[in-house]
Amino acid sequence: MLIISLALTCSINKTETCSEAYNKFVACFNKSKSEESELVFCRRFQYYVKHGGLIQPMMDTEIPSQLKKLKVITKASTEVDCQEYYCYASNVLKDLTHIYESVDLREAGLSNPAQDQGNCSSCWVFTMTSLMENSIKLQQFDSSQQFWAMSRDLSEQFILSNTFGPEYCGESDLMVGFDYFNKNIETVEIRANFVYNPSYKFYNDSFAKNISLKPKIDKSLYLKPFQTFQVIQDDTQTTPVIGIHTDEEDIFTSSTIWTIKSYLSRGIVIGGAMQMSNKNMNHILTLDGSIVQNIACDMSQNPIKNHQVTIIGYGRKNGQEVWIIKNSYGQYWGGSGHIFVPIGKNSMCSEMYAIAIIPLTYDLSSTDPYFNIGSHTRGNYYDLDRDDGDLIDSDNDAWILAIEIMIPIFGVGTIGGVFVFTFKKKQYKNVNDPKNQPEELENEPEKEPENDETVSSVLE
């Protein structure tokens, strides 16, 4: 009777408020109580209310599993297993000469809202989905494919259930995921057809029996929304993955940063990785999305990066140059699922991994930024600082560096003389102003309205 009574007392149901459920959870499972842990619990409780599942693991599985540790090819081979080794193509897009001062691809309608991966090690699936959703938004479709011009919310569950390289809800990597998808999965699917629910028994049983989910969309709509290129390590294979920065030992150089900004200025998001297993996990899981998060990368951890995310923009926040990172911890993490990290600081090891995919219809010879990157009229709590939406010249970086180096040298070596270096940053008219549109962009079709229908999904 005591056991039954205790079970009833600790039972948590969907009719309770989050606060009531949290207090019961703390008491029954002997957890430490804090505002931070309650925030994390409430995010999990919301998922439980919508999808069901166990309450006990809500706090016990907050620390994400390690990403799959891939091997590095040391010499060319013709028999590379891309499920075990890093396989990627070289960068096929030239760096832009002119990029935007800042980019937030949410403003351009090129990045969907952040989803929640729930109690499942599927960050790589959510980042894959973010990249492919972005790719579809940048596609040019003929009349037979207009469905994809409107339906751009992809199913994470479909990818998770049909990728049999890793264990179900197990560790993996974007490169492995895209390699498997490219070779074994016929199409993406829409979220409405396969709503994310990794604990659903049917999905678990199907995966255990190696049974793939069959697409529900018509076969005429099957789509792999990316181009493929020759794998650097094995010229007999192709991959959609462009390896922008894959060296696990080094951080982004200034050249890499410019390349990433060039991709973002074209409207193309970046697959990234970061460290989410710091000792103070409650802090990591409740980051304030309105401030710049500069958290030291713990180089003693192995692997250094254990969580994959999407870089969807750059610019300035509170005067500091930052990346915008989209996570898969849901809308209640950071600023609607996003945070700012400083550029050049490797905060949370976020500047040690960068890949991209190229939209299926993208013109590889294009040297122009995306024609409508957003208004830049910001001012909200979780926004970048406002700017004019101007383009800046890549030569400016070299000038600034020269000035920073030479002024101290001349200042120390010269007595009685003052050398003043001035330079005017070359700016371009706001390309979002129709009066200033380049001639070749005047006839561009208007961006189609975004399909605002979103389905709540689910973390590691």
Query: Read out DSSP for 212-236?
Result: PPPP-S-GGG----S--EEETTEEE
The SS3 of residue 353 is: coil
Is residue 336 left, alpha or beta, with left meaning phi > 0 and alpha meaning psi from -120 to 50? left
Per-residue model confidence (pLDDT) at position 72: 58
Nearest Cα to Cα of residue 107 among 450, 441, 444: 450
The runs of H, that is alpha helices, within 71-218 are 123-137, 147-150, 156-162, 174-184, 201-208
Nearest Cα to Cα of residue 68 among 80, 89, 88, 82: 82
Neighbours of 352 (CB within 10 A): 22
Buried b (16+ CB within 10 A) or exposed e, 397-416: eeeeeeeeeeeeeeeeeeee
Percentage of the chain lying above the pLDDT 90 cut:
51
Per-residue model confidence (pLDDT) at position 58: 41
Mean pLDDT score across all residues of the chain: 80
pLDDT band at 86 (very low <50, low <70, confident <90, very high): confident
Neighbours of 58 (CB within 10 A): 26
Q: What does the pLDDT look like over 367-380, one tens digit per residue?
A: 999 998 988 889 88
Q: What does the pLDDT look like over 228-287, one tens digit per residue?
A: 999 998 889 999 999 999 887 899 999 999 999 999 999 999 999 998 865 556 677 778
The span from the CA of 407 to the CA of 412, in Å, is: 9
What distances in angstroms separate CA 369 from CA 213, 309, 426, 431, 437, one per listed residue?
Answer: 38, 23, 17, 10, 12
Q: 334 near 289, Cβ under 8 Å? A: yes
Tokens of 124: 């790589």
Separation of CA 219 from chain center: 29
pLDDT band at 142 (very low <50, low <70, confident <90, very high): confident
Domains and CATH numbers, the chain: 2-60 (no CATH), 98-356 (3.90.70.10)
Nearest Cα to Cα of residue 328 among 458, 452, 453, 198: 458
Residues 6+ apart with CB under 8 A from 397: 254, 258
339, β-bridge pairs = 325
Tokens of 424: 């005017």
Least confident range from 18-27, 79-88, 155-164, 394-403: namely 394-403
Per-residue model confidence (pLDDT) at position 27: 76
The span from the CA of 109 to the CA of 106, in Å, is: 5
229, β-bridge pairs = 239
Q: How many residues does the chain have?
A: 460
- Residue identified by tokens 């990290």 is 341
Residue 335, pLDDT > 60, answer yes
Instruction: Indicate the residue type of 56.
Output: Q
Neighbours of 438 (CB within 10 A): 12
Query: If you average pLDDT over each of 2-6, 72-76, 209-213, 410-414, which comes out highest?
Result: 209-213
Per-residue model confidence (pLDDT) at position 70: 59
Give the residue-averaged pLDDT of 156-165.
95
Number of H helices, E strands in the chain: 12, 11
Residue 425, pLDDT > 80, answer no
Give the DSSP per-residue string, 12-50.
--TTS-HHHHHHHHHHHHTPPP-HHHHHHHHHHHHHHHH
pLDDT band at 94 (very low <50, low <70, confident <90, very high): very high
Neighbours of 99 (CB within 10 A): 22
Instruction: Report the sign of the C-alpha dihedral through residues 387, 391, 396, 397, in that order.
Output: positive
What distances in angstroms separate CA 124 from CA 22, 92, 115, 244, 323, one per listed residue?
Answer: 29, 23, 13, 17, 19
The span from the CA of 389 to the CA of 371, in Å, is: 11
Neighbours of 62 (CB within 10 A): 22
